[in-house]
Amino acid sequence: MCGIVGYTGGRQAAPIILDGLGKLEYRGYDSAGIAVSGARGQIDIVKAKGKLKVLDTLTEGGKRLDGLCGIGHTRWATHGEPSENNAHPHCNTEKTIVAVHNGIIENYSPLKEKLVRRGYTFYSDTDTEVATKLVDYYYKKHGDPLKALSEFALHARGSYALAVLFKDYAGEIFAIRKDSPMVVGYTDGGAYLASDVPAILKYTRNIYYTDNQEIVRLSQDGAVFYNLDGEQIEKEYTVISWNAEAAEKGGWEHFMLKEIHEQPEVVSNTLNYYIQDGRADLSELNLSDEYLRGIDSIIITGCGSAYHVGVVAQYIIEDLARIPVRVEIASEFRYRNPVLTGRELVVVISQSGETADSLAALRGVKEHGVKTLALVNVLGSSIAREADSVFYTKAGPEISVATTKAYSAQLVSMYLLALKIAEARGAIDGVYYNKLTSELSALPGKMKEVLENKSAVQKFASEIMDRGDVFFIGRGIDYAVSIESSLKLKEISYIHSEAYAAGELKHGTISLIEEGTLVFGILTQKALAEKTVSNLVETQSRGAYTAVLASESVQCLPKDCKAVFRIPDCDEHFSASLAVITMQLFAYYISVLRGNDVDKPRNLAKSVTVE
Ligand code: AGP
């Protein structure tokens, strides 16, 4: 999605803004632009199609733009093609009001018609130009930026993080947000705003998370917040504990490779934080044993990989805690009319905590009076703030669009939740509980072992990198790993891939298997391995080129497999944590070999804040 950055203070604004936009590149973009209040009171705007580098070169790293206050934007096209004309910032006719925007103004069409009737003309296809001219209209009516933004909020539908420069208020930035992320930071002598913390972390660790429909006024003296009635509101800031280096590549070729290798540490951090005296201590979540005994079922929802974590968790929670679990794709769940009794616990999983569909699903179930738990990585994000309880994963900043370490941190958090629920409901005895927690403690070491095998994965990747279709099959948790493996491969290698529950293949999909089609079988669940092997053999009979990923002690493998990857044995509930690493590496190496932009795959954005 788009990224916005703003700065006002005692330093030249443009280099700071460009630097911040660079940290938001992972959000995906196709054009970029910047606006700075110049020394003579004018607002200078520079925009460029393509990479941020183009804008950087045009402005000589920002040096060509003097001025101490400005806003910048990286655009991921929604309304109108990627072009310089459609790139942000957008402005009113007189160039006295200039804005950048992340999100979608859903009713931009009727708003535009209304403005046209009042004599406005438009130069771009964007909803942001409409937003800017709507602010202009209300500013001309009230002569007050706060009132203009309040009226904007009353009339605009959709999502927005909108930052505006008013020529009459040189040195100040006014911003408002609804359902699109926006953080504000301050230091002595400067104030910053951005779509995400890494953009400004180099300059400040004191961060305010703006709430929906709050207006913020930034000046050299700091940040002042207002509600839509124009009343000043007090807000507490959060001090970010991780440093700017955590969001840098640190010598790795790609963020994805770095983040894959950070997984043992991330899992270890999560376990160390939440396991106290050998027990899953989830007291921060405020889920009492009495409450957990009283619920009838669990619903897990999320999008993409977060949904896939839910699929793994479904098997584990049902098996250990003996309570029904449903997993729902958030973009579907939000539009259903689900039957809810109020005795469910709804778990919303989201790395960013800003995914529009997951947020909408959360709000939907809250309307039914159902208790919600957010499993989120980004501190202070919308989903974290709106859920009844929050379970923070300890993954640190994840930059690569393809999630790896956040997925692993979510998995291990769900294992802990499963243990907690199982214990509270008396579904698990003490001996087994202790065995499982010691198995969990061994996971980081075993993850390191899997990483050591990466050159074999790289070699196999080079052998199959030109194949057109890849199938991943498995049963139970191995099926859940298959869907994540397939998504990972698709999103960064652009190879068509399907994940199938192994037993479901012959109900139609097996007709797609041709001479040379790669079928990857996942075999970590001993009781199910033989069944999946039979399905692999069926594909071999139709010409498939097969590979397997199996736990060390799984002995039954299909003959004539072209590659066999092993992972250490562990309690089978947790094998997804090991298996997924091989599959992440597999997708990563294919993407590199095909010359793709690994961290910023085409058409994708890290944080999907629009529907
Ligand atoms: C995974 O590699 C994807 N980039 C994507 O599926 C992602 O998991 C999904 O968009 C959900 O994001 P969230 O966890 O931030 O809500």
Same domain, 237 and 270: no
Q: Do 99 and 43 meet the contact criterion of CB atoms below 8 Å apart?
A: no
- Which stretches does DSSP call E strand in 213-350? 214-219, 222-226, 232-233, 238-239, 275-276, 279-280, 297-302, 325-329, 344-350
394 CA from centroid of ligand 1 (Å):
16
Mean per-residue pLDDT for 84-103?
A: 93
Half-sphere exposure of 119 (CA within 13 A, CB side): 3
CB environment 474-505: b (16+ within 10 A), e (fewer): bbbbbbbbbbbbbbbbbbbbebebbbbbbeeb
The three-state (H, E, C) secondary structure of 208-226, written as one string: EECCCCEEEEEECCEEEEE
302 CA from centroid of ligand 1 (Å):
8
Give the closest residue to 126 by CA, choosing from 194, 77, 59: 77
Classify 44 as helix, strand or coil.
strand
Same domain, 47 and 127: yes
Task: Kindly state whether residue 416 falls inside one of the protein's structural domains.
Answer: yes
Same domain, 341 and 193: no
- Is residue 24 pLDDT above 80, yes or no? yes
Structure tokens at 52: 């941020």
CA distances in angstroms from 368 to 212, 354, 484, 565, listed in the order given: 21, 21, 31, 47
Return d(Cα 149, Cα 175) in angstroms, integer: 8
Predicted pLDDT of residue 129: 96
Predicted pLDDT of residue 189: 83
Same domain, 481 and 411: no
Is residue 49 part of the annotated active site? The answer reads no
Residue that terminates a domain, selected from 448, 475, 499: 448
Q: Do 227 and 213 meet the contact criterion of CB atoms below 8 Å apart?
A: yes
Asked if residue 608 has its Cβ within 6 Å of ligand 1, the reply is: yes
Model confidence pLDDT, tens digit, residues 46-56: 999 888 899 99
Q: Which residue has the least CA distance to atom 5 on ligand 1?
A: 304
Predicted pLDDT of residue 1: 66
582 CA from centroid of ligand 1 (Å):
19
Report the amino acid identity of residue 248.
E
Is residue 114 part of the annotated active site? The answer reads no
Predicted pLDDT of residue 247: 73
Radius of gyration for the alpha carbons in the chain, expressed in angstroms and rounded:
25
DSSP annotation string for 526-552: HHHHHHHHHHHHHHHHTT-EEEEEEET
Task: Kindly state whether residue 603 falls inside one of the protein's structural domains.
Answer: no
Best of 260, 305, 376, 604 to mutate for ligand 1, by most ligand atoms within 8 A of CB?
305
The CA angle 308-311-317, to the nearest 5 degrees, is: 135
Task: Kindly state whether residue 203 falls inside one of the protein's structural domains.
Answer: yes
Mean per-residue pLDDT for 589-602?
A: 91
606 CA from centroid of ligand 1 (Å):
7
Same domain, 213 and 307: no
Asked if residue 305 has its Cβ within 6 Å of ligand 1, the reply is: yes
Task: Kindly state whether residue 505 falls inside one of the protein's structural domains.
Answer: yes
Predicted pLDDT of residue 23: 86
Same domain, 31 and 114: yes
| Ligand 1 atom, smallest distance to 351 CA | 14
Structure tokens at 10: 């005692």
Model confidence pLDDT, tens digit, residues 147-199: 999 999 999 999 999 999 999 999 999 999 998 889 999 998 899 999 988 89
pTM above 0.85, yes or no: no
Return d(Cα 294, Cα 314) in angstroms, integer: 19
Same domain, 272 and 370: yes
Predicted pLDDT of residue 384: 93
Task: Kindly state whether residue 611 falls inside one of the protein's structural domains.
Answer: no
Model confidence pLDDT, tens digit, residues 61-76: 999 999 999 999 998 7
Report the amino acid identity of residue 458.
Q
| Ligand 1 atom, smallest distance to 606 CA | 4
Return d(Cα 36, Cα 28) in angstroms, integer: 23
501 CA from centroid of ligand 1 (Å):
22
Q: Do 164 and 97 meet the contact criterion of CB atoms below 8 Å apart?
A: yes
Confidence band for 28, pLDDT divided at 50, 70 and 90: low
Same domain, 226 and 368: no
Task: Kindly state whether residue 102 falls inside one of the protein's structural domains.
Answer: yes
Return d(Cα 509, Cα 532) in angstroms, integer: 15
Strands 275-276 and 279-280, sheet pairing: antiparallel
Predicted pLDDT of residue 179: 86
Which residues partner with 375 through β-bridges? 349, 391
Same domain, 315 and 166: no
Residues of the domain holding 516: 454-593
The CATH number of residue 461's host domain is 3.40.50.10490
Strands 325-329 and 173-178, sheet pairing: unpaired
Predicted pLDDT of residue 611: 73
| Ligand 1 atom, smallest distance to 352 CA | 15
Same domain, 381 and 408: yes
Q: Which of 2, 69, 303, 570 is catalytic?
A: 2
Model confidence pLDDT, tens digit, residues 439-488: 999 999 999 999 999 999 999 999 989 888 999 999 999 999 999 999 99
Residue that terminates a domain, selected from 183, 216, 241: 241
Model confidence pLDDT, tens digit, residues 200-209: 988 998 999 9
Q: Which residue has the least CA distance to atom 16 on ligand 1?
A: 350
CA distances in angstroms from 579 to 212, 479, 529, 565, listed in the order given: 40, 11, 14, 9
Predicted pLDDT of residue 604: 82
Cβ of 542: how many Cβ atoms within 10 Å?
A: 14
- Which stretches does DSSP call E strand in 351-419? 371-376, 389-392
Place of tokens 């396991």: 275
Return d(Cα 18, Cα 148) in angstroms, integer: 28
Model confidence pLDDT, tens digit, residues 273-285: 999 999 999 999 9
Best of 263, 303, 491 to mutate for ligand 1, by most ligand atoms within 8 A of CB?
303
Task: Kindly state whether residue 601 falls inside one of the protein's structural domains.
Answer: no
Q: Which residue has the least CA distance to atom 3 on ligand 1?
A: 402
Return d(Cα 408, Cα 501) in angstroms, integer: 22
469 CA from centroid of ligand 1 (Å):
23
Which residues partner with 483 through β-bridges? none
The CA angle 132-22-237, to the nearest 5 degrees, is: 75
How confident is the prediction for the chain on average, in pLDDT? 93
34 CA from centroid of ligand 1 (Å):
28
168 CA from centroid of ligand 1 (Å):
41
Predicted pLDDT of residue 85: 83
| Ligand 1 atom, smallest distance to 305 CA | 8
Asked if residue 303 has its Cβ within 6 Å of ligand 1, the reply is: yes
Return d(Cα 478, Cα 46) in angstroms, integer: 51
Same domain, 588 and 522: yes
Asked if residue 350 has its Cβ within 6 Å of ligand 1, the reply is: yes
Model confidence pLDDT, tens digit, residues 343-369: 999 999 999 999 999 999 999 999 999
Place of tokens 């999909």: 509
Return d(Cα 366, Cα 611) in angstroms, integer: 19
Best of 355, 591, 607 to mutate for ligand 1, by most ligand atoms within 8 A of CB?
355
Same domain, 362 and 393: yes
The CA angle 388-391-393, to the nearest 5 degrees, is: 150
246 or 296, which is more confident: 296
CB environment 115-139: b (16+ within 10 A), e (fewer): beeeebeeebebbbbbbbbbbbbbb
Task: Kindly state whether residue 430 falls inside one of the protein's structural domains.
Answer: yes
- Structurally, the chain folds into a number of domains equal to 3
Q: What share of the chain is helix, strand, coil (3-state, %, to 5)?
A: 40, 25, 35
Asked if residue 587 has its Cβ within 6 Å of ligand 1, the reply is: no
Residue that terminates a domain, selected from 426, 448, 470: 448
- Is residue 298 pLDDT above 90, yes or no? yes
Return d(Cα 86, Cα 80) in angstroms, integer: 7
